[in-house]
Structure 1
Amino acid sequence: MDRHEIEGHEVIDGTAKATGNGAHVLVPKRWRGADVKVIRTTEPDE
């Protein structure tokens, strides 16, 4: 696993859920319009 350092304001822990041909992660509504980064920390389950 690689190590990355990111400066930010808040962290949430979630699971990517299937959506159409992709996946999504829900974040708080108050994050609308903010720049966010998503980092995969485990191998996906097939």
Structure 2
Amino acid sequence: MDRHGIEGHEVIEGEVKATGNGAHVLVPKRWRGADVKIVRTSDHDG
């Protein structure tokens, strides 16, 4: 596993869920319009 340093304001944990031809992670509505970064933390290549 690689190690990455990210500075930010808040962290949430979630599960990626299938949607259409892709997938999504739900975040709080108040994050709408914010810049975010997604980091995969497991080896699952589903």
CA displacement, residues 16-42 of structure 1 (integer Å, 9 cap, x when unaligned): 000011110000000000000000000
In structure 2, the residue corresponding to 1:23 is in which secondary structure? strand
Gaps of 5+ in 1: none
Identity rate, percent: 78
How many pairs were matched up? Answer: 46
Q: TM-score, normalised by structure 1?
A: 0.92
Alignment partners' CA distance in 2, 1:28 and 1:19: 18
Q: TM-score, normalised by structure 2?
A: 0.92
Counterpart of 2:11 in structure 1: which amino acid?
V
Tell me the C-alpha RMSD between the 2 structures: 1.1
Report runs of 4+ in structure 1 exceeding 2 Å deviation. Answer: none
